Structure 1
């Protein structure tokens, strides 16, 4: 019966998803697993560790289905941040910072990363350690490593998972988390766990699942190694004028704070900006929406998750924990495109010869750059955000 269900599911996946139908492996999963075990042993992991961890691992078609149908962030910043920086997370995060004040202070003193930033990631990644996932990590990683879509990446992650077992950080039974192999209260993939985790509670092992001290300190360790600057801001909300050089407002354009002031950008309360730190003007929903100055630490946060919407929301939540008020909606109403319209937009941009790697319905940095080019050609305000009037004109 189980074999029949597996065949039915695999058939349904192949028929319903052309990507899966086209992406096939040569050889059986067991043949692949036997070869992988030999490679793992040759890499220096003891045979008893490899066999003990992987002997009962099976191919899981449900993981493939999740991988093919994963929902990336296609919401606007205001939509996404409203769900992530909700009253529950705001109140609980502030309470957690108070309850664990000595721990957060010790972490900041050692790694330079403040409590609001760590708490924001803790809230978003696992609901403060309450939702870490219950998927068999080794089985998920082996399935994705065998699969032909991102096999090389997940083979490396599976090797790192075995090394975590080898060094005694975690047992195969304890290794349960999200479907793509993320583990613990801050959802580290095994390679990040192996490279950046620290034993902060002093029990002799790095336990990112059960020890909040280990989990939070490891997140701080990772951010510091990514380049976090202590005692420096990450994101501040600002007010933009009705008119300015909108093409300057992009993450890859850094100007001193004083130069943004000359453009007419002010603090949210209208007070003048001062300073020489190089920052980017971030307009997640264009010139009429919310506006932020993104400091170098924001670029560090982008290394945690390259999605601009996710990272802006994480940075915004951290700023709320640090005392900032609720974000403004902006200077004027915005006619937002739906996912289908964004896909059509991306197809039209690609047809113009502009770089659009994926037709995915997500207004990412690549899509914004292409939109900005067309806005300049059409002599429109080049803020890189495609609203409904721009879409209709295109």
Structure 2
């Protein structure tokens, strides 16, 4: 999700616009510039001084920013690591404990409880581990770093506004290393825009209040385009002779069209025949297969990691009663070094793979699928050692 500890922007290469945002130089001078900008926005100078007084650069934040190897893990392995019996049982227990809150979310936003429970589980183990990085230090450190200052600089001024509301402590508010706060890990700007006082105490406190956190997360999903009452992901069985080039997020057909091609739900029936949908093979034609409905794409507005999005969306279906997926027998994937070599080879042929990072993201999958088709291989988007050798 966009505002979670697996922040979507952290998977993106540095944007050209980053060069237009002030960054770098001495850290103290950078903070002085932030103070001046805050005052120019109309904030009280004394309040600005109190807000920035405790800020310090945090080198551990930069270490974490540059070490995101978890995204290189294949879907089956990744999902098995994240989805435990404890998280399933705890999720169902919390669904009952906060039944009225989830009923309100389902009524007001049309979002199934499993969706928010999955994020709650993955981000903080249902609030148990919310991160111990000082949030202001993290935001200012990442804004000073010149990789993505356009992402983090606005978050600093949003945190200042929350401070003015009494909902942020510059010295004491802690969270994830990338500046997200609370039980579902939202960035200050998202809290400012979508924060909900779910327990009626007059404050939006995502660290201590489950109703605040859940309702705020629901409002944010709605703002990102969640379509009320519609599904997001469903496991399917594919026909013999499937045209693998039709798989992937780049291709959308109606559910009725997929049915005519022989796609069937593994359990129950596919949803509304009129809905557009894509067929996803997270580990190629030998692994599990899913149909992704329009709401699935909203997940990418919150987080850009394909493997994370697939796992969060799938876990949400499990919490709603879906069975364990059929893992199949996928071809072995590539190591991180092999994936980088593949990306370099694809980039040399003119493909936009989104950076040589060893992560099988959407750009790399699309390039792999196209190259497989050109080489006469099954175009399922799953890179293998055989493909790498051919390149």
Specify if TM > 0.5.
Answer: yes
Q: 1:158 — aligned with what?
A: 156
Q: Distance in 2 between matches of 1:144 and 1:209?
A: 22
CA shift at 1:25, angstroms?
A: 6.7
Instruction: Specify the alignment match of 2:324 in structure 1.
Output: 326
Report whether the alignment pairs 1:55 with 2:53: yes
Among 300, 307, 310, the alignment partner of 2:308 is 310
Question: Is 1:40 the counterpart of 2:38 in the alignment?
Answer: yes
1:230 aligns with 2:208: no
Structure 1 residues 135-187: Cα deviation after superposition (integer angstroms, max 9, x where no partner): 11111111222222222322111111111111222332442111111100011
C-alpha distance in 1, partners of 2:355/2:227?
34
> How far is 1:324 from its partner?
0.4
1:87 lines up with 2:70 in the alignment = no
Provide closer, same or farther for how the CA distance between residues 26 and 124 of structure 1 changes in structure 2, counting only shifts above 3 A: closer
**Which consecutive aligned stretches of 4+ in structure 1 deviate over 6 angstroms post-superposition?**
270-274
CA 56–241 in structure 1, closer or farther in 2 if over 3 Å, else same? same
Give 5+ residue unaligned stretches, structure 2: 1-18
Counterpart for residue 389 of structure 2: 392
1:223-269 Cα offsets, whole Å, 9 max, x none, are: 11112122211100001123222111111311111111122211115
Give the deviation of 1:74 after TM superposition: 0.7
1:276 deviates by 2.1
Could you tell me which of 332, 335, 339 is aligned with 2:332?
335
Contact 1:232/1:297 (CA < 8 Å) preserved in 2? yes
1:221 aligned partner: 219
Q: Give the distance between the partners of 1:381 and 1:118, measured in 2 at CA.
A: 36
**TM-score where L is the length of structure 2:** 0.90
CA deviations 1:192-247 (Å, max 9, x no partner) are: 11111111111111111111000000010011111212221110000112322211
Residue 382 of structure 1 is aligned with which of 367, 379, 383?
379
Q: Alignment partner of 2:295: what SS?
A: helix
| Unaligned residue ranges in structure 1 (runs of 5+) | 1-22
Q: What is aligned with 1:18?
A: none
* 1:358-369 equivalence runs, <5 A: 358-369=355-366
2:12 is aligned to: none
State the match for 2:258 in structure 1: 260
Task: Identify the residue that residue 186 of structure 1 maps to in structure 2.
Answer: 184
CA RMSD between the two structures: 2.0
Q: 1:30 to 1:288 in 2, by over 3 A?
A: same
Match for residue 197 of structure 1 among 178, 195, 198 = 195
Aligned mate of 2:369, from 365, 368, 372:
372
| CA pair 271-278 structure 1, distance change in 2 beyond 3 A | closer
- Aligned to 1:73, the other structure's residue is in SS state helix
Secondary structure of the corresponding residue to residue 145 of structure 1? helix
Give distance in 1, aligned partners of 2:29 and 2:213. 36
The alignment's TM-score, normalised by the length of structure 1, stands at: 0.90
Hey, what does 2:102 align to over in structure 1?
Answer: 104
The aligned counterpart of 1:10 is none
Task: Find out whether 1:169 has 2:159 as its counterpart.
Answer: no
- Contact kept, 8 Å, 2:195 with 2:204, in 1: the verdict is yes
* Compared CA separation, residues 276 and 50, structure 1 to 2 (3 A): same
Partner-residue secondary structure (3-state), 1:171: coil
**Matches for 1:3-14 after TM superposition, within 5 Å:** none
Which of structures 1 and 2 has the bigger CA Rg?
1
Alpha carbons 1:239, 1:270 under 8 Å: kept: no
Distance 1:193 1:316 in 2: 26
Alpha-carbon distance change, 299 to 26 in structure 1, aligned in 2, over 3 angstroms? closer
